[in-house]
Chain A
Amino acid sequence: MFNTHLKPFLLGALLSLSWPVLADPYDFTEADIAFLSGFSLEARPPLPEAKSNRLADDTGAAELGQKLFFDPRLSGNGQVSCATCHQPAQYFTDGLPQSQALGITRRNAPSIPNSLHGPWQFWDGRADSLWAQALSPLEDQAEHGIDRTSAARLLVTEYSEAYEQVFGDTQEAGQVAAITVKASPLTTQTEQENWQALSEAEQQAVNRVFSQMGKLMMAYERKLELRPARFDEFIAQLQSDADRATLTDLMSEDEVRGMRLFMGPADCASCHNGPLFTNFEFHNIGAPEPDKTQVDMGRYTGIEKLQQNEFSCVSQWSDLEPEQCLEMAFLKTQGPELVGAFKTPSLRNVAETAPYMQAGQVKTLEEVVRHYNEPTPPFYDREQHPSRPHFDIVPLQLTDTELEQLVAFLGTLTSPLPEDDPWWWAPGND
């Protein structure tokens, strides 16, 4: 008690003696502004090249992808679309700890507009492209629960005109349309048996159309654009030397102090850096283990799944030759730092995308910053872990007030929902 009360007082006294600059947190030097500009949406690089999908930037493909994204017929019960768990009004998340569709997923639904940069998809990076990512929930029995043949058939029959506009008159479309059974190498036993009963040419045709579907969805997802948040506007005003009143209108004193903490003493910027507030890498921060009987190994098992992914960059469905898939060719497959490590999530819109961590096991941002302030080392079970997990954070020793300021700052990263952006919302019936 004594310590927590005394510390901010002493700290304040010390700082005001040795460092008068902090007397006004709105005073930023040129070097400060240059540093902060690296976090502004303005500094966001163009979308990464996506040569494994030659349609990645095709608007026709994106329009068709948008229809597919919102189509609940792409599910075992006709009620689950991608938008069930990736809801536009919630920044393409669902507000749940673990997503609920046909069943309950193991992990928390990530925000799609934040996922367009960076080489890996999913919390464990088990997909190496947005198109490979988009395919796996379709066949997951806890998610869409549809077999790949039915999904592919829906594309070439229900969207035949749009399909032809994008891909032309393909042989595989006819082959897939002619198959009447539900079949997949991954789903239920009956569907697996049906898959085995298909000819190799039929299987190839289904896989081709299925991969085309992923590529259409990816083209759509690449159209989702974040609007500047208050933080971005604040930086823009700093850059143009705005007066103090303009600045205080954009960010409160607590938020500005929170930003200063974020960049330094709270150590957030070590990993949450750049315009998307992520380094796109994998770390173990010792988030509470959601299920100690079945430990989540994160990147460690993600690597194995990635190498087995039927639709990765090195697969025959990719538009690149295997030797051109450099991330896969030089994949880091070993290292104790992979155990229990998860991808650093972007912090854009973080205040609107609770709950947090890989399984939504932390409910509020207050709890999140509290975890960083007083972290517990990762759960370790000799029986389950291949090696003791790394622990990539250190306790911060911040005061309660400072933690509140940090949370306040995170609120400035919310982009307004783009009401007038037709890409963001379900397509109209035109």
Chain B
Amino acid sequence: MKCIQSVVTITLIILLASASANSESHSHLAGEDNLIKTASGILRQAKALENNATQVLRDANQLRQTLNQLRASQRQASNSEHQSDFDQSLSLLSDQLSRWQTEGGTLRRHSDELQRLGTTVMEAGFLNTWSDRIKLTGPVPLEKGDQVSMAHNTGVRSVHPSMDGRMTSGAETEQHQGMSLSVPSMSGQQAPPDLDTGTFQASRQLHYFAHIEPATPAEPLPGVPLNKIHQWHLLIADAEGEPVSGASIEVTGHMPGHVHGLPTQPRVTDEIEPGVYRVEGMKFQMPGWWVMQFDVAGQSHNDTLIFNLVL
């Protein structure tokens, strides 16, 4: 009895979950004249689908645990009369589990597709709105001709005697192809291969949509000059696709795997035109994976923009 009850409960949950996912994914995309606004809608749906996928997969995990418990109980149960009940429930539940797993995977795949679509549409929207301003659409490059100096504190982080391993394993080194020398390791700074280094990003809560690029000469693309203080432009639109004016913005940057941030304290010094902010005092002293964060306090929302750079 107990088993059947739980099957019913869980089935209800999944029905509700898929219903809400379907209703979201079928809402219309057309009829928007502002591409950033369209992108905002798509990205919201992508996020909703991702939430659904997470929920479904979480339920599936719970069900898998229930199944395992049930199988354990079946092994312990001596009464052969109940064996067929067990078999029936187990079969039902395991069908359900595989349906949920498939559904979770499908939802996630759709979410990823929508996410990509949304980003593409957003980029097109920015290029529409700020065609004369945007010179960079790919990842932020290093300026050409920069001598690649070595990392300032690769493998160095704040350690404490209580940190197991780090105090006894010696320095982290690595050996590059074709080298007999081993050199300080970049571990913890190697960007994951699928890292999103796009310069068009939505904020965490999808309130803002933004683009960054170095305000350096485009030769052929605007790039980051190593070890030199330079400026960036930060372009922000809201969910309606309108430029975000008068926002107060905090700028921070760090390298994952490091405890140290940027060597300078950059800040927004000017709004050049509505939604276009000048960020001054940017300086990167080494190549590698950097994360730039902009905390945007606008009139109605506070939200955070994150950009990954691999210099």
A393, B156: Cβ atoms closer than 8 Å: yes
Selected from A30, A332, A337, the residue in CB contact (under 8 A) with B264 is A332
Q: Which residues of B lie under 8 Å from residue A279 when comparing CB positions?
A: 152-153, 285
**In the complex, B263 has a CB within 8 A of chain A:** yes
Q: Which residues of A lie under 8 Å from residue B266 when comparing CB positions?
A: 330
What would be 15 A-B contacts, judged by CB atoms less than 8 Å apart? A21-B180, A22-B180, A29-B180, A30-B178, A263-B183, A264-B184, A267-B172, A267-B184, A269-B184, A273-B150, A281-B285, A283-B156, A330-B267, A332-B264, A396-B171
A residues 308-339 near B (Cβ < 8 Å) are 326-327, 329-335, 337
Shortest beta-carbon distance, B167 to chain A, in Å? 6
**In the complex, B154 has a CB within 8 A of chain A:** yes
A-B complex: 6 closest residue pairs judged by Cβ atoms = A330-B281, A264-B182, A267-B171, A397-B170, A31-B178, A279-B152
Selected from A35, A270, A330, A390, the residue in CB contact (under 8 A) with B179 is A35
A395, B168: Cβ atoms closer than 8 Å: yes
Shortest beta-carbon distance, B217 to chain A, in Å? 17
Known: A30-B178, A274-B150, A330-B283. A267 touches B264 (CB 8 A): no
Q: Which residues of A lie under 8 Å from residue B263 when comparing CB positions?
A: 281, 332
B residues 32-79 near A (Cβ < 8 Å) are none
Name which of A270, A334, A391 has the most chain B CB atoms within 10 A of its CB. Answer: A270
**Chain B interface bracket (under 10, 10 to 19, 20 to 34, 35 or more):** 35 or more
B156, A337: Cβ atoms closer than 8 Å: no
A329, B178: Cβ atoms closer than 8 Å: no
**In the complex, A27 has a CB within 8 A of chain B:** yes
**In the complex, A32 has a CB within 8 A of chain B:** yes
A397 to B153, CA, bound (A): 19
Shortest beta-carbon distance, A259 to chain B, in Å? 9
A327 to B177, CA, bound (A): 37
Q: Which residues of B lie under 8 Å from residue A30 when comparing CB positions?
A: 178
Q: How many A-B residue pairs have CB under 8 A?
A: 138
Selected from A22, A35, A337, the residue in CB contact (under 8 A) with B260 is A337
B159, A394: Cβ atoms closer than 8 Å: yes
A291 to B93, CA, bound (A): 71
B180, A28: Cβ atoms closer than 8 Å: yes
A377, B265: Cβ atoms closer than 8 Å: no
**Chain A interface bracket (under 10, 10 to 19, 20 to 34, 35 or more):** 35 or more
A330, B280: Cβ atoms closer than 8 Å: yes
**In the complex, A392 has a CB within 8 A of chain B:** yes
Known: A38-B150, A271-B156, A390-B158. A331 touches B265 (CB 8 A): yes
**In the complex, B169 has a CB within 8 A of chain A:** yes
A391 to B183, CA, bound (A): 21
B residues 156-207 near A (Cβ < 8 Å) are 156-161, 166-173, 176-184
A residues 43-84 near B (Cβ < 8 Å) are 43, 45
Selected from A28, A271, A274, the residue in CB contact (under 8 A) with B153 is A271
Q: What's the dominant secondary structure at chain B's contact region?
A: loop
A332, B161: Cβ atoms closer than 8 Å: no
Q: Which residues of A lie under 8 Å from residue B176 when comparing CB positions?
A: 31
Known: A31-B178, A397-B169. A270 touches B152 (CB 8 A): yes
Selected from A45, A269, A391, the residue in CB contact (under 8 A) with B150 is A269
B261, A29: Cβ atoms closer than 8 Å: no
**In the complex, A265 has a CB within 8 A of chain B:** yes
B181, A260: Cβ atoms closer than 8 Å: yes
Q: Which residues of A lie under 8 Å from residue B156 when comparing CB positions?
A: 267, 270-271, 283, 392-394
B229, A270: Cβ atoms closer than 8 Å: no
A32 to B176, CA, bound (A): 9
Q: Which residues of B lie under 8 Å from residue A270 when comparing CB positions?
A: 150-156, 171, 184
Selected from B149, B166, B180, the residue in CB contact (under 8 A) with A27 is B180
Q: Which residues of A lie under 8 Å from residue B160 when comparing CB positions?
A: 377, 391
Selected from B152, B153, B155, B281, the residue in CB contact (under 8 A) with A329 is B281
A residues 368-420 near B (Cβ < 8 Å) are 377, 390-398
Known: A281-B285, A331-B265, A332-B264. A392 touches B182 (CB 8 A): no
**In the complex, A266 has a CB within 8 A of chain B:** yes
A144 to B148, CA, bound (A): 42
| Chain B 240-282: CB-based contact to A (< 8 A → 1; otherwise 0) | 0000000000000000000111111111000000000000110
A330 to B157, CA, bound (A): 24
Q: Which residues of B lie under 8 Å from residue A36 when comparing CB positions?
A: 181
B184, A330: Cβ atoms closer than 8 Å: no
Selected from B171, B264, B267, the residue in CB contact (under 8 A) with A394 is B171
Selected from A28, A337, A394, the residue in CB contact (under 8 A) with B259 is A337
A396, B285: Cβ atoms closer than 8 Å: no
A390 to B158, CA, bound (A): 5
Q: Which residues of A lie under 8 Å from residue B167 when comparing CB positions?
A: 394-395
Q: Which residues of B lie under 8 Å from residue A330 when comparing CB positions?
A: 229, 264-267, 280-281, 283
Q: Which residues of B lie under 8 Å from residue A269 when comparing CB positions?
A: 150, 183-184
Known: A269-B183, A330-B283, A337-B260. A31 touches B177 (CB 8 A): yes
Selected from A38, A263, A281, A394, the residue in CB contact (under 8 A) with B152 is A281
Shortest beta-carbon distance, B39 to chain A, in Å? 33
| Chain A 194-235: CB-based contact to B (< 8 A → 1; otherwise 0) | 000000000000000000000000000000000000000000
Q: Which residues of A lie under 8 Å from residue B172 when comparing CB positions?
A: 267
Query: Apart from A271-B152, A330-B266, what are 9 other A-B pairs with CB-CB below 8 Å?
Result: A30-B178, A36-B181, A43-B147, A270-B151, A330-B283, A331-B264, A332-B262, A332-B263, A377-B161
B181, A264: Cβ atoms closer than 8 Å: yes
A397 to B267, CA, bound (A): 42
A398 to B169, CA, bound (A): 11
A265 to B172, CA, bound (A): 7
Selected from A265, A337, A394, the residue in CB contact (under 8 A) with B182 is A265
